[in-house]
Amino acid sequence: MNQIFFLQATPSAGGGGYFQLIFLGGMILVFWLFFIRPQAKRAKNQKKFIEDLQPGSRIVTIAGIHGKITAVNPDGTLSIDVSHGMNIKIEKSAISMDWTAALNKDAAAADKK
């Protein structure tokens, strides 16, 4: 009395390809909105931040070195004073935008007191 039932595949209704294309398009849109666009905006802000660096600005490097810019060199580097009279030369791209903003925010808050 063992009965074996075989399920047969039924042909799907037409239009399934359109749903897949719309779904794929939606996924690409979501990926662009949440990943590519914010990353491009952040890169643009970082570039503007680096271009606006001037002598006298207090900065923090991505390695955590705190200093004050003494010179902006034409070769794309900065000379920074890390201690009284101790200068080092670093690449502009080594400046941390987030940490520098936090440092300057804390300094501005301390100046208000």
Per DSSP (E only), the strands in the chain are 58-60, 66-72, 77-83, 86-91
Q: Do residues 36 and 58 both lie within one domain?
A: no
pTM above 0.95, yes or no: no
Give dist(CA 66, CA 71) in Å, integer.
15
Q: Dump pLDDT digits (tens) for 60-108.
A: 999 999 999 999 999 989 999 998 889 999 999 899 988 888 888 877 7
Total structural domains within the chain: 2
Q: Do residues 27 and 72 both lie within one domain?
A: no
5 domain-assigned: no
Q: Do residues 23 and 70 both lie within one domain?
A: no
Q: Do residues 27 and 76 both lie within one domain?
A: no
82: containing domain: 54-113
H helices of 5-96, in order, are: 16-31, 37-51
- Span 32-45, average pLDDT: 90
